[in-house]
Chains A and B, each alone.
Chain A
């Protein structure tokens, strides 16, 4: 295994004219929706899933990945200039970023956000290239028992790190697993839970349920929220940060990148958690912490580096283990599966062009994003004037066409309408939809691995505790559950997630 040769293969794939174009479209779209509040990468990836099926798998992944990390660049622009996060992962950037903008230092704030993101993106891409192959090699030796326990552990970790009630999050996972089983059972051919509807013979369409929850239900929910945007319209100032700024931020960018890269790998992690953690750590570690909150440039550099690093490394568990850490990754997994590729350790050996092409494209995409962001920031600012009342009907239209065109069946559109209502009710009841989507993707695989593990052990459930790796995963899952229910830690978790 030679990383350099593999990266060479990757660049050969990523640098074809077609894939450069998809990388550019993805990054551009990502930056665009990142800037726009009220529409995020999850919604956009959901909307583009149907289109991605018409592309070759590597182009589809390059396009969808571009949206996710592109949004991390775009989100900071809105956070700094308007004081509302364009993306959830830019929430903390509003604190110091907008303070800088009010002091007339919007330019350097935007500049350092883009540069920090670029550095983080490059470092995280390198980390994927180095860490993924050994991880996949280990994962290739997993049997069904190990896989089942790994999925349990992944789902529990995702739930623990999600915000809101633990009990509801677990219930949403279980419901997601159950919904994932709808359709024809691969082993017996029995039709399950079709409720007398022929349209459900192949199960609930993944695209329909994702767009329903992250497209339509979000729109309906957003229509209720009133947004008062105060724009800083004055001069941006010099966009390029001064040497002193960069020197001051170097440590923050490094720490943010490191922390983000680690947190991105965890299930339930990714960009959002990374940015919060990085800001909190930065406040503790940096000298003269008093200035945080009053326009300290380090308060922009650290979380923006962290969210981009986290966005990128969250691909590691998806690509090497077949475990999605967050809803965007669940959707990318869904995209792979519809192309007939089972996500997991085999992707790297069976489809090296896909894996390494995607990694090379990330580096390329990050470069494009810096170029897109620094000189063209003025254009992005103008985009902010697009009102939501023009935006949301477009989201609904794209979701409807998407749902219909997956199979050219009106039934999928009705499914989407149903789950939109469900999604809205769930949001209103504080039931986070992310665990449901993760469960939905993993449902059939979990059943299959449970079945195989028990078949091998002749029905003895102790097999999960006898295999050492499987036991380790289950112990880890149990430990996470125990730790989170200890009141003191629970309080701190709520504090950290609320801040």
Chain B
């Protein structure tokens, strides 16, 4: 058996994965009946449909040819996702200024043409702008500095 359409194949796998997660999570939800739908009725319907669509994609990818999957650029994705999560971790204990600095430098670092001085200037500008707009103009409740 050969996978002729890798893009379709992996899409199918992804949809089946989501469907399986949904089905296993929805095991305990009561279905009810069509006339009195329980919380599990519509989700079960959708998850089964999603699983079926995923299966069709997988099946078709073995029968009919298609495009290969382009190379994944894992590094930018991983660094940016980490930077964002880190922002979520840092914002409450360390405040806006520090967490924005970390976020900006990490995101800029992973781009193609990283220049340290320029990035630091960008970080400073973004921090000033965000503090000005979000904290002073819009009055959002954000800590600026580490809370001890």
A220-B76, A405-B140, A420-B81 given; A171·B111 CB < 8 A: no
Complex CA gap A398/B103 in Å reads 11
Interface SS majority for chain A? helix
Which residue on chain B has the smallest CB distance to residue A416? Answer: B84
**Contact with A174, one of B46, B81, B103 (Cβ below 8 angstroms):** B46
Asked whether any CB of chain B lies closer than 8 Å to the CB of A3, the reply is: no
A223-B110, A393-B104, A410-B91 given; A178·B50 CB < 8 A: yes
Q: Which of A134-142, A373-381, A422-430 contacts B (4 or more CB under 8 A)?
A: A422-430
Complex CA gap A397/B37 in Å reads 43
Complex CA gap A219/B111 in Å reads 10
Asked whether any CB of chain B lies closer than 8 Å to the CB of A5, the reply is: no
The answer to whether B11 touches A219, judged by C-beta atoms less than 8 angstroms apart, is: no
Interface residues of B (CB under 8 A from A): 7-8, 10-11, 14-15, 18, 22, 25-26, 29-30, 33-39, 41-43, 46-47, 49-50, 53-54, 56-57, 60, 67, 69-70, 72-73, 76-77, 80-81, 83-85, 87-89, 91-92, 96, 100, 103-104, 107-108, 110-114, 118-119, 122-123, 126, 130, 134, 138-142
- Enumerate chain B residues within 8 angstroms of A51, measured Cβ to Cβ: 138
Interface SS majority for chain B? helix
- Enumerate chain B residues within 8 angstroms of A195, measured Cβ to Cβ: 25
The answer to whether A171 touches B84, judged by C-beta atoms less than 8 angstroms apart, is: no
Max chain B CB contacts within 10 Å: which of A175, A413, A414? Answer: A175
A428-B69, A429-B10 given; A405·B142 CB < 8 A: yes
Which residue on chain A has the smallest CB distance to residue B104? Answer: A393
Complex CA gap A416/B88 in Å reads 10
Asked whether any CB of chain B lies closer than 8 Å to the CB of A181, the reply is: yes
The answer to whether A410 touches B89, judged by C-beta atoms less than 8 angstroms apart, is: yes
**Contact with A405, one of B54, B67, B134 (Cβ below 8 angstroms):** B134
CB distance from B96 to the nearest CB of A (A): 8
The answer to whether B108 touches A393, judged by C-beta atoms less than 8 angstroms apart, is: yes
Complex CA gap A420/B34 in Å reads 36
**Contact with A404, one of B43, B60, B88 (Cβ below 8 angstroms):** B88
- Enumerate chain A residues within 8 angstroms of B60, measured Cβ to Cβ: 167
